[in-house]
Structure 1
Amino acid sequence: MVNETITKNPVEGESAITQTINEGTNEKRSFIQKIKYAFGPGMLAILTWLGAGDLVTSAVAGADYGYGLMWILALSLILRFLIVNVMSRFQLANQQGLSILEGYGKIHPGFAMFLGIYAIIIGHLSNAYMLSGAGEVLSNIFGFNSPFLGSIIVVGLLFILIGRNYYHTIEGVMKIFLAVLTLAFVYLAFSTSPDFAGIVSGTIGFSIPQDEGAFGALLVAISIIGAVAGSISNFVHPYFLKEKGWTTPGHLKLQRNDLLFSIIVCIIINLSIWIVGAEILRPNGIRVETVGDLAAALEISLGKFGWITFYLGTFAILFASIVGKTTGYPRLITDAFYVSNKKRSEKYEGDYNKDPMTKWIMYFLLVSPIIWSIPGMPGFIQLTIAVNAFNMVGFPVIAIGLLIISNRKDLMGKYRNSWFENVCLILATVLALWSSFELLLSFI
């Protein structure tokens, strides 16, 4: 039997679902209840992961390099599944009931503090490019030719909506727009008769093509890895598990199936966007340098309907991602702070929802990025590529720390990593170090 208590959190603006599983009862759930119970955190993860980073990096890679960098996307999605699965298993099965950040703190408090500070920086920069994009979208839809004004409107809307009862209605509408855009990309991807031989060749190609377009191939490749495998948003998933009520090793199978479902959805969406870039934008000589260039793909194939669908769906992606990061990152940051400040953790009983610091971090992540929308700053596409490449700075710390805590016998017991997971995490660490080194060289 599952008893659900739904409480509204005025800071986060979303439902926190607490579920108690009473074993030994034979009460059956309806089919809808089973679906709702089995597929929860993964759906939230998709909304958090699939921001502008996936949309822009996949479209730019397809438009500029065809399928030459497809192997980078495949590798990044595999690593995302592996990393998030190990993080989730730690959250569910560690013997001390630690959160993932507390686990990093077991290595050294500096690990957790680094990740907390890093999350503030990445949260600020991620919202920067998404607010810039949302402002540009509003400016193009309504024709007032001021992306900065559009970004200010988005911040104002979020201030009004988050935590209000009618926020969930608005969120539901946004999900519909997002679903329509996704279906449009999937339809276009299959209707263009994609080059499946090229896709297979690109997936196993393991090479970096010659530079084309406004962004170098290596920068785009690193940006894809940063947007998918190296994203600190992956840390948010274990917190969704906790709010869902999945807190014990008995939930491991549910968690794994739920995560696999979300990764499959990510593959379909990313691949569809990539194909549209390679089969529509590239043959028409369109380089993705503004949000309008992305809109051209749907407008060419679907006319005015495609144009409207793109802008409404893209606004929905940006809006949902800003909300997800603005409400999700403060949990991660506060949790990291608690690792080195036990007195504050005890004061608020370890509940970041009760701590006013969480609210002020949320306000900072929502308001401070507006400076990047001021006229003269880099545009939406440029910011997106740069920020997702910058994600690689923290990826080595994430990968090394995860490798250590997921193999500690005193924490994980029989739930330690398999040899295959360890090999993959070592490869992820090497990839992260290589990407960070190449990124540093490119800046120099």
Structure 2
Amino acid sequence: MTTKKDDYKVGLNIPEDQGTGNGNGNGKEKQSFIKTIKSYGPGIVVVLTWMGAGDLVDASVAGSHYGYSLMWVLALALIIRFVIVNIMARFELCNTENMTLLEAFSRLHKLYPYFFAFAAIIMGHLVNSYMIKGSGEVLAWIFNFGSPFMWSVFVVLISLFILGRNIYKKLELVMKILLAIMTAAFIGLAIYSQPDASEIVRGTIGFGLPEDTGAYGTLLVAMSLVGAVAGSLGNFLYGYFIKERGWIGPEHKKIQRNDLLFGICMGVVINLAVWVVGAEILKPNNIEVTSLNDIAMALELHLGTIGSTIFYLGAFGVLYSSVIGHAIGFPKISISCIQIIKNGREDKYAVKSEKDPLFKWISLFILVTPLIWSLPNMPGFVSLVVFVNVLYVIALPAISIGLLIISNKKAYLNNSTNNWMENIILAATTMLAIWSSIKLVIGFF
């Protein structure tokens, strides 16, 4: 008798060594460091999908307005993200009933799949609104002709071409290339700015909220950082990417954890580099970040044209990698929820969600409709980034509460339930998200 995981593996035509044996990192032969790094992939894909403009803008805004005093928020958000996503992935690999995490949520309450399906479509649209807008602005600067809207249309057309091919292999290759570009770009700029290590340490362990300054208040920036980095619906994407890689059972738990840790570490490096640029270059020059051009102009003052060129290349790497990732990832979440709601649809398309006709239409919606935000006179790029990432925080309580219950059920996980530290972090995250949501609603009204 075959299980859903067996069916999924057959549907993907996963090579035997990716499903078991050497592919899991637990084989008898010890792999070299290079081979181990090459075996990773989903962590890089999902971290670059998460990062996008949220990290780029929020980190630079926080650094330019508040120096290193909010660095602790970034550190906290990254810890939360690793713990939450690792718990999610462990459930996918180790639960005894071969069900997905979304199926487990649906067992908690029947409204969960409706909520996730709707939220994935709306948030996919909103997140790609600033990813596509920013990508268009970057390409317009790099090529020095045409309007940002024209280049935004170009970005969407190229993405449609990529989505129509073998998705995952091409996506992983593109992500790794963009990772190298953005890492080199931002680290180089951070090193040039000669950061004060003692100030970074003080900001990381300071746990203080400085007085409001600049266009965005301290609390708003902090909430946007938590939303962008700790995330919400975007955290579900990792479960799909590890399955695409062929990691579908408990034997892959170790390589999955190391893969995610590697991806998170790369995210830490890039986030820190962007923050340093904001604190060491933008803040001393009293430059308030309201657009990508504000950051580029400051770097051009210090490095000449090469500075702004490096920045825009790194920015494009961050932005465009997320355009593709969200156009693939959020439809997967919606389709999975729709298949849970309609059982007949699940039986027909469960092996490969991309085969579901609705996947194409949802993906097109998330990829094409955000172009309206790239039209002239629409809200600015930075404003879109900050406020959309704040919205992520609102959905976080529903996710963290459900995950806290599911990941502690021994009936599902036997000996793979949470440890006490994971439970503390999940509980604290829930309280933080509820408090932030209340503050946001009070501030709005």
* TM-score where L is the length of structure 1: 0.90
Partner of 2:3: none
Q: Report the AA paired with residue 367 of structure 1.
A: V
Query: Could you tell me whether the CA contact under 8 Å between 1:39 and 1:258 is conserved in 2?
Result: yes
Q: CA deviation at 1:140?
A: 2.2
Q: CA deviation at 1:170?
A: 9.8
Equivalent residues in 2 for 1:200-349, closer than 5 Å: 200-349=201-350
> Measured at CA, do residues 177 and 309 of structure 1 come closer, stay the same or move farther in structure 2, by a change above 3 Å?
farther
User: Is the deviation greater in 401-410 or in 193-202?
Assistant: 193-202
Determine if contact 1:112/1:336 at 8 Å carries over to the other structure.
Answer: yes
> Once the 2 structures are TM-superposed, how far is the Cα of residue 316 of structure 1 from its aligned partner?
2.5
1:426-437 paired onto structure 2 within 5 Å: 426-437=427-438
Contact 1:181 1:313 in 2 (8 A): yes
Matching residue of 2:20: 21
The 2-side partners of 1:108 and 1:281 are apart by 48
SS of the residue corresponding to residue 164 of structure 2 reads: coil
Deviations 1:111-132 (A, max 9, x none): 1221121111110000001111
Following superposition of structure 1 onto structure 2, how do residues 23-102 of structure 1 map, counting pairs within 5 Å? 31=32, 34-35=35-36, 38-102=39-103
Alignment partner, residue 401 of structure 2: 400
Shift of the alpha carbon at 1:435? 1.1
Contact 1:178 1:314 survives alignment (8 Å): no
5 Å-filtered alignment, 1:110-149, equals 110-144=111-145, 146-149=147-150
Partners of 1:135 and 1:148 within 8 A in 2: yes
Distance 1:254 1:170 in 2: 20
Distance verdict in 2 for CA 1:71–1:246, change over 3 Å? same
Counterpart of 2:324 in structure 1: which amino acid?
V
Letter in 1 for 2:251: G
1:391 counterpart residue number: 392
Q: Distance in 1 between matches of 2:159 and 2:120?
A: 21
Moved more, 305-314 or 382-391: 305-314
Please state which structure has a larger fraction of its residues in helix: 2
Tell me if the contact between 2:63 and 2:279 (Cα under 8 Å) persists in the aligned partners: yes
Distance 1:358 1:17, change over 3 A: farther
In structure 2, what is the Cα distance between the partners aligned to 1:348 and 1:82? 31
Q: Which moved more, 1:300-309 or 1:325-334?
A: 300-309
Amino acid at match of 1:81: F
Q: Distance in 2 between matches of 1:310 and 1:435?
A: 32
1:340-361 Cα distance to aligned partner (Å, 9 max, x none): 2111111224531221111111
Q: CA deviation at 1:406?
A: 0.3
Query: Are the aligned partners of 2:92 and 2:100 in contact in 1 as well (CA < 8 Å)?
Result: yes
Aligned partner of 2:161 in structure 1 is: 160
CA distance in 2, matches of 1:165, 1:328: 15
Classify the secondary structure of the residue corresponding to 1:148.
helix
Does the residue aligned with 1:50 lie in a helix, a strand or coil? helix
Deviating more after overlay: 166-175 vs 84-93: 166-175
Task: Provide the C-alpha distance between the structure 1 equivalents of 2:307 and 2:436, rounded to a whole number of angstroms.
Answer: 36
The offset of 1:146, in angstroms, is 2.6
Partners of 1:16 and 1:440 lie apart in 2 by 47
Give the conservation status (yes or no) of the 8 Å contact 2:186–2:270: yes
Contact 2:51 2:228 in 1 (8 A): no
Q: Tell me which residue corresponds to 2:363.
A: 362
8 A Cα contact 1:151 1:373, kept in partner: yes
Work out the CA distance in 2 between the residues paired with 1:97 and 1:8: 16
Separation of aligned partners in 2, 1:239 and 1:17: 18
Partner of 1:371: 372
* Distance (whole Å) between structure 2 residues aligned to residue 384 and residue 41 of structure 1: 25
Question: Do the aligned partners of residues 33 and 285 (structure 1) sit closer, same or farther apart at CA in structure 2, a change above 3 Å counting?
Answer: closer
For the residues of structure 1 that align with 2:407 and 2:189, how far apart are their CA atoms? Answer: 42
1: distance between equivalents of 2:38 and 2:426? 30
Give the partner amino acid of 2:416. Y
Which residue does 1:12 correspond to in 2?
none
Given the superposition, is the C-alpha separation of residues 419 and 269 from structure 1 closer, same or farther in structure 2, using an over 3 Å criterion?
same
State the 1:393 CA deviation: 1.4
Change (3 A) 1:92 1:303: same
**Contact kept? 2:335, 2:358, Cα under 8 Å:** yes
- Check 1:196–1:27 CA distance in 2 against 1; reply closer, same or farther (3 A cut): closer
Distance 2:327 2:403 in 1: 24
Q: Distance in 2 between matches of 1:125 and 1:203?
A: 30
- Judging changes above 3 Å, is the alpha-carbon distance between structure 1 residues 46 and 17 closer, same or farther for their aligned structure 2 residues? farther
Q: 1: distance between equivalents of 2:245 and 2:215?
A: 43
Equivalent residue letter for 2:82: F
Distance in 2, matches of 1:349 and 1:197, equals 52
Cα distance change of structure 1 residues 170 and 349 upon mapping to structure 2, 3 Å threshold: closer
AA matched with 1:93: C
- Greater Cα offset, 336-345 or 88-97: 336-345
- Look up the SS of the partner of 2:181 in the other structure: helix
Q: 1:189 to 1:7 in 2, by over 3 A?
A: farther
Q: Post-superposition shift, 1:44?
A: 1.4
Aligned-pair distance for 1:27? 9.2
Q: Deviations over 1:27-83 (max 9, x none)?
A: 969748842664121121222122111111000000011011111101000000100
Residue 399 of structure 1 deviates from its aligned partner by 0.5
Q: Deviations over 1:395-424 (max 9, x none)?
A: 111101100100112111111111111111
Q: Which moved more, 1:155-164 or 1:248-257?
A: 155-164
User: Is the contact between residue 134 and residue 154 of structure 1 (CA under 8 Å) also seen in structure 2?
Assistant: yes
Range that drifts further, 52-61 or 259-268: 259-268
The farther-off stretch of 350-359 and 279-288 is: 350-359
Aligned partner of residue 19 in structure 2, secondary structure: strand
Q: How well do the aligned residues superpose, as a CA RMSD in angstroms?
A: 2.7
Contact persistence 2:48–2:175 (CA under 8 A): no
CA deviations 1:131-162 (Å, max 9, x no partner) are 11111112223334632222122112222343
Q: How many residues align?
A: 434
In structure 2, relative to structure 1, the CA distance for the partners of 1:91 and 1:169 (3 Å cut) is closer
